[in-house]
Amino acid sequence: MQDKTYHHGNLAFELLQAAERELVLNGIEALSLRAVAKRAGVSHGAPAYHFKSARGLLTALGAIGYERLVGVQETRQRSAESDPKSQLIAIGLGYLDFAESNPELFRLMFSSEKPDRSDTHFDTAAKGAFGKLVEGVRKIMDRDPHTHPAAMTQVAASWAMVHGLADLMISGRLDGPLALNDISELTREVLLSDIMLRALAEC
């Protein structure tokens, strides 16, 4: 953060910021490592020192995405009723919030093969987000999904529903059917909650 020196100390962080900015502006498929370097004000070879390759940079960015996703979900949870069902819906709404606010990052995390999923940081961050969902289902079913197959099936169903909603929403495919742009914030949430509730079988 200190003034421009040759080693300015936090280039790795600034590169990640620049990368996300480029991601938002140009989309994941047109993202250029050289443009990221230029935005950060360094030479085109600089990123390779901190992140081995473009893949490395995007892996780190994806991992941050998962951590941010959990944060958004927890924000939703805090402003929701404390009963298990409301909490699980909040987790889902947080998932949708994140997807809508960070569509390109969401794509990078879930629908791209650029990040290295075997990377430790990326993997644990992803598992953290998954754990949030598992925990929500555990509370609502009073059964640990890791030991009860029916509960794990419920995890899969919940995830698929909310993930499908998110993916279709950010690609604009639900704009027509659900007219999400033409309704109020409140009816929107009621509608989405209603849909997500369907994934919960006999809970």
Residue with tokens 């991992």: 63
Residue 148 sits in the site that holds a second copy (CB under 8 A): no
Residue from 43, 101, 111, 171 that binds DNA (CB under 7 A)? 43
Contact predicate 69/98, CB 8 Å: yes
Q: What angle do CA 9, 13, 65 make, to 5 degrees?
A: 165
The nearer residue to DNA, 59 or 158, going by C-beta atoms, is: 59
- Select the binding partner of residue 199 from DNA, a second copy, none (C-beta < 5 to 8 A, by kind): a second copy
Residue from 44, 127, 146, 173 that binds DNA (CB under 7 A)? 44
- Select the binding partner of residue 31 from DNA, a second copy, none (C-beta < 5 to 8 A, by kind): DNA
Q: What angle do CA 164, 167, 171 make, to 5 degrees?
A: 140
Pull the structure tokens for residue 41: 């004000």
Pull the structure tokens for residue 90: 């909040």
Q: How many residues at the interface with a second copy, by CB under 8 A? A: 35
The nearer residue to a second copy, 8 or 119, going by C-beta atoms, is: 119
Residue 24 sits in the site that holds a second copy (CB under 8 A): no
Measured CA to CA in angstroms, residue 43 lies from 4, 33, 40, 147 at distances of 14, 10, 9, 52
Pull the structure tokens for residue 63: 């991992």
Q: Which of the residues 79 through 138 are near a second copy (CB under 8 A)?
A: 107, 110-114
Residue 18 sits in the site that holds a second copy (CB under 8 A): no
Residue 203, classed as helix, strand or coil, is: coil
Measured CA to CA in angstroms, residue 189 lies from 45, 88, 96 at distances of 46, 14, 10
Q: Which residues of this protein are in contact with DNA, per CB under 7 A?
A: 5-9, 11-12, 31-35, 37, 42-46, 48-50, 52-55
Binding site for a second copy (CB under 8 A): 27, 29, 107, 110-114, 145, 152-153, 155-157, 159-165, 167-168, 171, 173-174, 177-178, 191, 194-195, 198-201
